[in-house]
Amino acid sequence: MKRKPQIIIGIILIVIFVLLAVAAPLLAPNDPNATDLALKNALPSAEYPLGCDQMGRCELSRLIYGARYSLGLSIPVLIILASLSLFIGCYSSYKSGIVDEIMRLICDIFMAFPLIVIAMSLVSAVDNSVASIIIAIGISMTTWFLRMVRSYAKTECGKEYIEAARISGASNFRIVTRHLIPNVLPQFIVYFTTGIATAIMSVSSFAFLGVGLIAGTPEWGAMLNEARNSVYSNPGLIIYPGICLIVCCAGFNLLGDYGTLLERRTRSVPLEVKDLSVFLASGEVVTEHISFQIEKGKMLSIVGSSGAGKTTICKAIMGLLGSTYKATGEVWFQGKNLLSLSKKECQKIYGKEICFIMQNPMTAFNPSLRVGKQLEKTFLQHHARTSKDEMFSLFDKTLRQLGLEDTERILKSYPFTLSGGMLQRLMITAALINQPQILVADEATTAIDACNRVELMKELKSLCKEGMSILFVTHDLRAASYSDQLLIMNHGKIVESGETKSIIENPKQEYTEYLLNACRLERRELM
């Protein structure tokens, strides 16, 4: 994933403060707790680079050790709590029932109380110690994490890929760890990094109030508290720890942009093609500088006459170009550039997360195997634990959705005994049974009659409403009119793009007009 500059800056800042915390004994020029009243508010010198505080202690040494206390009391605790919250929140959302309701009730109760109230209650009931502060922050942050995780996990649990995993016989643990958690994680990263910044500020705030830490502890908030009376005589005692707090928290907030970027890639924009160019081995350009995005639950159609480069784009996305072609650019899916993945990594994605409907149904099936057997092999590659009854029930349902009623006979048939239209819909079935996130359809309506073409396009639109994203390639603007976005291609380039309705009603390019007129002429001839 291409990182934004602010993400890199955030990582650099965090690394710096972590190194300060870990290597404090080596980096600190002096003992942070050594006092010498003769050096009270001493000016910076070679021995004391930032001067001394009101007790004659080295200010730089105390700032370095302050990173150890501020980060050491926040990060380890939050990592443990965040990991537990992520798993528990996803598991309770998936299982639902009484456990999930209890979890929701507990979160609502504790979130009703501000962190300071929880902390002061623990200090009053137990003692004024670091443990009380850690427990208070833990309670507050855990309920915050759990509530967030439950919200996103509930949304994911309602999607069909979870149901497909359940049907395939996957255990609850596998569904939670392999399906729910990876899809909730991008949003969680944002909350987690923000939570660390919040925890650091909370520790410092309590220290500023004299809660939790022993007087004299070299912690940034405690240093601010001690420096209140020296704001005019030695303003650096306020400025230095304040800058450390701001910069450290800013680093974690900037790192949260990574989660935001990942979420955008995996959620709102499941597939993003950037500057894709395809060349023949001879150097001849086939497609040039192709860029587009397919939003979640949307259909994007690429329209153009034969030879425009539409199928080439599909094959580039699916990794099917072969050795005679070379592709440059980026194809992003789930935070990964598909063009740079290994063959093993691609096998986990293609056929399951991204499915392809080929252009020619007559040659897409093995003529020596019954079509049911071929669908079975396709499905079991990614759902090996599914029983035959469940599998064929899914086949039957999908075929009927596509207008094929005599499903038992069709599944027992050999490809050469079926019509082109039937084979076309069987290819679509082979793609849909795996419940992909992205469906790439190359001329999927070519062998289907006009009436069934309309029904098929309506069915594809209904899949979009369920969250599937579709890249639909066609030369027929009538079929493309069902899509949300249009890309008009000619001679390997995009000549026009935008919302479907806008392009059809108000084309800006002569070539687009040509395609529209061709559709109108064909319609008149048929009449």
295-318+338-526 CATH fold? Rossmann fold (3.40.50)
pLDDT at 524: 43
Q: List, for residues 374-389, the tens digit of each pLDDT value.
A: 888 878 877 777 777 8
pLDDT at 166: 75
pLDDT at 458: 82
Domain limits, the chain:
5-29+51-268, 295-318+338-526
> Does the pLDDT value for residue 255 go beyond 70?
yes
Instruction: Name which of 221, 226, 255, 253 is nearest 73 in CA terms.
Output: 221
Average pLDDT for 459-467 = 81
Distances (CA, A) of 170 to 177, 179, 386, 431: 11, 10, 9, 20
Contact 29, 60 (CB under 8 A): yes
CATH number of 5-29+51-268: 1.10.3720.10
Virtual CA dihedral for 345, 370, 427, 459, nearest 10 degrees? -120
> Does the pLDDT value for residue 527 go beyond 70?
no
Contact 169, 388 (CB under 8 A): no
Q: Is the pTM of this model over 0.75?
A: no
> Does the pLDDT value for residue 412 go beyond 60?
yes
Q: What is the largest CA-CA distance in the chain?
A: 104
Q: List, for residues 263-309, the tens digit of each pLDDT value.
A: 544 445 678 888 899 998 888 888 988 888 888 888 999 998 888 88
